[in-house]
Chain A
Amino acid sequence: MSMPGQVQPAVDPVQGDDEPEGPVLIEARDLEKLFRIPEHRIDTFKERALHPFSGPDFRELRALDKVSFDVRKGEFFGIVGRNGSGKSTLLKILASIYRADAGTIRVAGRLAPFIELGVGFNPELTARDNVVLNAVMMGLTPRQARQRLPAVFEFAELEDFTELKLKNYSSGMSVRLAFSVMLQTEADILLIDEVLAVGDAAFQQKCYDVFHEMKDADKTVVFVTHDMTAVQTFCDRAMLLHDGQVTDIGEPEEIGRHYLRLNFEGEHAGKTDQGENLAVDLHTAIIEARLLDEDDDPITNIEFGRPIRFEAVLEAKSELLEPVLTFHVLDADSRLVFGHQRALVLGNGEPGHVPAGGRIQIAGTLDNPLNPGRYHLTCWVRRNRTQGDMAVQAMRMIDFVVFGTPGGAGGMITVDGDIELELEGSR
């Protein structure tokens, strides 16, 4: 029995990078899927009886529009696109969970899907029963499924929880289990939807290891993700979906760039998060705050490595005595990445006083070591340097995204550095 942990590279890895020449395993032609989304969903006879003549108000959503592509044997095929672009719908049609309205799919071999966090489990049953059931759904016989139970639980590192009901599993545990089942069914084609979005760091690393092994073993994988790094690391080819249409199929690098352009072009620039900030009874308000590129044009998103340039105007709602401003850059989980602090000092070196209604102009340029991701810039205003924390007000000034390909090897930031390696005794 070949377990993922023991997969032997079947082919020379160098050859695996070549354009796949194998036979077509998935052939999709002109797939279409239309969802009719009820504006007012009529779920009960009562509503039906109360509104007998209000025909169902449907909004039509074209989730897939003439989608055609091939996946060849041994290929790691990425599907990328924004939320709502139709990726998951496409995967569900491939996995026979939805039926396409038009078009054809032909598949050679057995498919094992890992859909929407993969947890196709019954919460009331034990993990063991669920695994057997799931494996049979993916095409094993009950006997084969039982034989593979130990391997499934071993890979998921859940040997101690086989008799626990699924409802008592944490979400991370059930994802690990589902992923493990999918691997152990040894299907010809794996369909994987966003597995990297869940689980802890250790599990993600394990997924990465498995992907590397699958790639080396020339497994056929269809892989849906937001993670451009993963696409560029693993995929032989990728497809970009946008509004249900195939925008581009090709090299992962090119698809990744295309995806980022698509993501950031449409958004309007220089928006502050006003709803949260303009609390009138506080001592300071943001009048405007925006991010600038090097030509002083407003932007919302910064390319990796480019400096963070911003300007802002604050207005004092009540008098500020010797105010101190602290700028923090936080990540999507509101973890502080770094900060800067400045006191308002007048031209003559005296600490500044801001009368009620007075304004402070801010212009900043910060080095940008941030790896791609979502960040925000907050400003803390301490009303009076001599007063305690009570008079400190926090304001979320600017939300922004750093995009691009990082030069480092993971983490929150990339720093310059020099590491020398030398084989001992080689001289």
Chain B
Amino acid sequence: MSDVSSQAELAANPGLRPVVGPGAVGGGWKRFFDLLILMSVSDFRKAYFGTVLGYAWSLLRPLMLFAVLLAVFTQIFRIGSQGVEHYEVYLLLNIVLFSFFQEATVTATTAVVAQEGIVRKTQFPRLVVPMSIVLTSFFNLGMNMIAVLIFAVALGVSPMWTWLLFPLSVLALVVLTSAVSSYLSALYVRHRDVAIIWSVSATALFYGSAVLYPVSIIPEGVLRDVIFANPIVPILVQTNKWVIDSGAPGAAEAAGGWAKLIPAITIFVVACVVAVWYFRREAPRVAEEL
């Protein structure tokens, strides 16, 4: 078919639009967000109204983890008494924030495969699948933050103007979580052991992300630099300063200068770029690889 004749036909049928096939996004942003919200809301509803205790269950998990860790770290290891203001609130807030990251990334890893029925049979922007998981976890985070707030006020954390900066921490965490989730969900389609590797890695990250302990107990030097290369660490440290204890060191101060934050920022940016690049590359073919 020569170009001339198809151009002539196009002129006769201005309605003809090229079909480019499936992709990461595409089909319009409105449709993307409609689908994203529909999928997350129905997932969220399922979690909250599917069981009798709904909301209680989703709170119970971080709270129980919190109770165990609190007992261990205040009664046995006594990190809690080493100069952390409001250690209980510090611990709970960190657990809730990290749980968001962990829950979203672990669930998203298998999401594209789990949604096989939809992916193989309907046409929609593929990025909706991991992003809807992130959004569902984000709803959970919101519900859990209510508990954190009540807890914080009850334990005497006084409101500060820097609470207004808290959304910045959450934004950074959401962007990082979205990048990791999208990347893993596409990678899992080709390499099924990603799920196991990541669930172990996420647990390792939990202990390496200064969730349980203040970074100040890590000796300055290589070890602290390594810890600070993890982008979650400066986010948590800064959040602590903004939300709980304005006297605590900020991320740059705790790391030992702004320069020490460069690795974390680099990793953060690289993660986002790689995620976008890889997901866009894989999205057109995920339906075939399943």
Contacts and interface: CB of A to CB of B under 8 A. Distances in A.
Given A44-B191, A104-B18, A142-B38, A23 B124 contact: no
B42 A106 contact: no
B16 A24 contact: yes
A126 B46 CA distance: 9
B287 A136 contact: no
Interface string A91-102: 011111111100
B83 interface: no
Nearest to A141: B34
Contacts of B1: 29-30, 68
Interface stretch (B19-27, B71-79, B146-154): B19-27
B121 A44 contact: no
Contacts of B118: 120-122, 133, 137
B9 interface: yes
Given A46-B193, A136-B31, A142-B38, A27 B117 contact: no
Interface string B173-197: 0000000000000000011110001
A422 B46 CA distance: 62
Given A29-B1, A137-B35, A119 B288 contact: no
In terms of DSSP, what is the predominant structure of the interface of chain A? mixed
Given A29-B1, A98-B288, A142-B38, A24 B122 contact: no
A124 interface: yes
A212 B24 CA distance: 38
Contacts of A23: 12-13, 15
Interface in A281-338: none
Contacts of B287: 92, 97-98
B39 interface: yes
A350 interface: no
Contact of B120 (A25, A45, A120): A120
Contacts of B31: 136, 139
Contact of A119 (B45, B121, B284): B121
Interface centre among B1, B9, B19, B20 (most CB of A within 10 A): B19
B51 interface: no
B158 interface: no
Contact of A142 (B17, B34, B115): B34
A107 B38 contact: no
Say which size band chain A's interface belongs to.
35 or more
A137 B288 contact: no
Interface string A122-145: 111110010011101111011000
A109 interface: yes
A106 B16 contact: yes
A13 B92 CA distance: 71
Contacts of A46: 193
Given A43-B191, A44-B192, A122-B115, A113 B122 contact: yes
B27 to A, nearest CB: 8
Contact of A133 (B6, B10, B38, B46): B38
Contact of A108 (B15, B22, B115, B190): B15
18 contacts: A23-B15, A25-B15, A95-B122, A96-B20, A96-B21, A99-B21, A106-B10, A107-B17, A107-B19, A108-B15, A108-B17, A116-B120, A119-B121, A129-B45, A134-B122, A136-B34, A138-B122, A142-B38
List the 6 closest pairs (A to B, CB-CB), nearest first. Answer: A99-B21, A120-B121, A108-B15, A120-B122, A96-B123, A106-B16
Given A98-B22, A106-B18, 7 more contacts: A29-B6, A43-B191, A92-B287, A94-B19, A99-B21, A116-B120, A129-B38
Interface of B: 1, 6, 9-10, 12-13, 15-22, 31, 34-35, 38-39, 42, 45-46, 115, 117-118, 120-124, 190-193, 197, 284-285, 287-288
Interface of A: 23-25, 27, 29-30, 35, 43-46, 48, 68, 92-100, 104-109, 111, 113, 115-116, 118-126, 129, 132-134, 136-139, 141-142
